[in-house]
Amino acid sequence: MEDTSQNKKELTIPIGTISLKGNLDIPEGARGIVLFAHGSGSSRFSPRNRYVAGVLNDSGLATLLFDLLTEEEERIDMITAELRFDIKLLANRLAQVTDWIINNPSTKDLKVGYFGASTGAAAALIAASLNPDIIYAIVSRGGRPDLAGAALPNVKAPTLLIVGGNDQPVIEMNEDALKQIPAEKQLVIIPGATHLFEEPGALEEVARLAKDWFINYLVPIPGD
């Protein structure tokens, strides 16, 4: 790897017979890494996820934003809108990318966390339930944790659910899901925010909450 203050790479990640495109950012001295699972119809170029990733990078955390679908699958999904709601498929993709991260020389020593948005939050929760020993923290932004279904009682990673105060149906879904997660957990409702957190200061608050959560659980305490 290059000796730079922040190593930024565009990647092609091999997953079985397919490959997924991603953007890996590793700040100098990074002590943890957050994998992003984007919402339905989005991609690694999601401006909201990229903003949050930038805040995490500035705090010394590495990030991986990647496409959950191949280019061909995305073309199909643009017409059918079916794959974006195939939560089991997306969770398996995230779990496989996680395996790649923990075996990649530049990231294998970093504790792993997940940041999931919308339907991507369900994929993150399911993937975390499949890898309870290697996922150390989860943050959901405007997520649909209800779509994780039977996986919720198997989530062991500390989980932060962030919902907009004006996103009432999603608030109720998150409240119900919270009761089923046995791990350390918290639900934070941002007053006045809607589903996409487009209101002034809303996304900044999401990023601050996520940063604090991940630093707490991903960054080793000196002497441990």
From first CA to last CA, the distance across the chain in angstroms is: 27
| Per-residue confidence (pLDDT) for residue 6, from 0 to 100 | 61
| Per-residue confidence (pLDDT) for residue 3, from 0 to 100 | 36
Is 146 within 8 Å of 171 (Cβ atoms)?
A: no
- Tens of pLDDT, residue by residue over 187-211, are 999 999 998 899 999 999 999 999 9
- Tens of pLDDT, residue by residue over 61-115, are 999 999 888 878 778 767 766 666 689 999 999 999 999 999 999 999 999 999 9
| Per-residue confidence (pLDDT) for residue 208, from 0 to 100 | 98
Q: 73: which residues sit within 8 A by CB, 6+ positions away?
A: 83
pLDDT at 4 over 50: no
Rg (the chain; Cα; Å) = 16
| Per-residue confidence (pLDDT) for residue 46, from 0 to 100 | 79
- Tens of pLDDT, residue by residue over 12-33, are 999 989 999 999 999 999 989 9
Separation between Cα atoms, residue 170 and residue 144, nearest integer Å? 7
- Tens of pLDDT, residue by residue over 115-162, are 999 899 999 999 999 989 999 999 999 999 999 999 999 999 999 999
> For residues 136 and 224, which has the higher predicted lDDT (pLDDT)?
136
What CATH fold (topology level) applies to the domain 6-218? Rossmann fold (3.40.50)
Q: How confident is the model at residue 42 (pLDDT cuts 50, 70, 90)?
A: low
Domain assignments of the chain as residue spans, ordered by start: 6-218
Joined together, the tokens standing for residue 46 give 């999601």
DSSP H helices, the chain, are 47-58, 71-80, 87-103, 119-130, 168-180, 202-218
| Per-residue confidence (pLDDT) for residue 155, from 0 to 100 | 97
Separation between Cα atoms, residue 219 and residue 112, nearest integer Å? 10
